[in-house]
Structure 1
């Protein structure tokens, strides 16, 4: 090869290499002013939108004042362990019952005060009526005692059965179910309508029957087994378990509450502790009492109409207002004058 050809080929290779370096430099970014090559930057990619999976909704029929209507409640989210929060306010009324076809006048006063809190649900912890021996009269008692709740509008009414709903007369038991025909039927087989659970907003409510005529002051293995499975299944940040009888009575009903069966009562309380239950709510004793055991509150809200027991403290007429937000569940105990007698702040579990 001639020298000219050699020089010509050498020049071609040199120019080709230089051009490759130049375009290679453009692909990495322009040269930095200091003579160094700028750090390569990855191309900008628009973030992929993550689809939001809506929570599962379950249409659940609930008793609403004097007319039963269906409402929709938000069940546990299927795609996220964190439920959607929404403000929930509800009232707990203690033992209302009195002889006769209508609630006592003191209940009318408390009820008028409770309406100012604009509740979205009403919880009745048993002894709503004082059942007579005649079933026809008992039906009229239910009509008269539930009639005021129509003034709260289309909200769920969640009761638990007390001893005075039947006065231990088995024939009166079906009349309780007739008064609340649309309660959830998700309890164990022999307890449909008496034992149930339901979600309202961020709160999981569980109602247990502690005063059926066949087993007074007792929950029994069937309910406890069902309760264990129900508590394990919920992801709600607040859980309230409700029965008529307290687990730890603070007044004259020591020995004829859940403590009548101490081994079973203790097993029940262990379930509440193990599943981080927010509070256990009861009535039966006509007083207000607050206690806490192993991190779980027991609230006895026991007289929204029946005469208060004196000598044990908390002997005043009252109801409880619950306000639930993402930060806390606030409980206010309100007396017949509208005064706040106690306030409790409960954190989500």
Structure 2
């Protein structure tokens, strides 16, 4: 009889399926509804994937950093600076239009004004609670000191960031190749396994690729989606490979974040070197240095907002950050969460319902 093809990329009905059907299905992700995954340090079990376990064990100390503070190892370059007088916002709107006729006669306008007033109050509270972080040495320079101390601290920070980036790049190169190789491994003998490998070699069965693996991470049926393409990986292997692709995505995303921090470092170094070269600084120089230093401190102290206890996380947020090379801010994440809550309370109507409304 003809060889039996499993669900794959392009069986195209050329081979009999084990269920008697003749039309294969493309490899696909069942859904994108997984809201939580857990990244645990690897255990001691041997899943038949020794290189994967080694990579995960080597990366384990970085789990806290990549799921919590991205650049925690560089946090020593920051210090908490005293707040300048008047640095906090006043907590009140800078205008009053409540008595305007267009406002008094409009309920929407009244609600808008009330929301703006509350936003200003919330913003002040947020600023009061937030630490006023700066790069070490900058405060002394702004107070009239030499830029040398700040230049040294920023130079040391550049070295630390370059080391983080190099380590992440090295991990990505090795781990990504191992992920694809291990995801497609077939550790069985017999006619079925040989037939499957021949079909894959001839292009009639799919091999797992990186984008599909990322997609299965977002699926509530990720293991099933995985085995639809490669039926010869077991549950334990899939879980360890899910952990590996998670760490790859986190560290690749951190490379982009580190690049942004390095860019801000070079901006700050340029400003400080300019002052050192001219031997004098005016108010504009101090303002530019403080702005750049504050931006750099914000990048170095950035935390992931969708991680709980540096262990569980929302894979959809991770995929978004990975795809767009960005790190979600707290306000962005909370806004999306608010939208989702409101959709659960009042679902979006079907197209037919809208047309008949």
TM interval, shorter chain, is: under 0.3
TM-score, normalisation: structure 1: 0.23
- Pick the structure with greater CA Rg: 1
The structure whose residues are more often helix, as a share, is 2
Structure number with greater CO (CA < 8 Å, separation at least 6) is 2
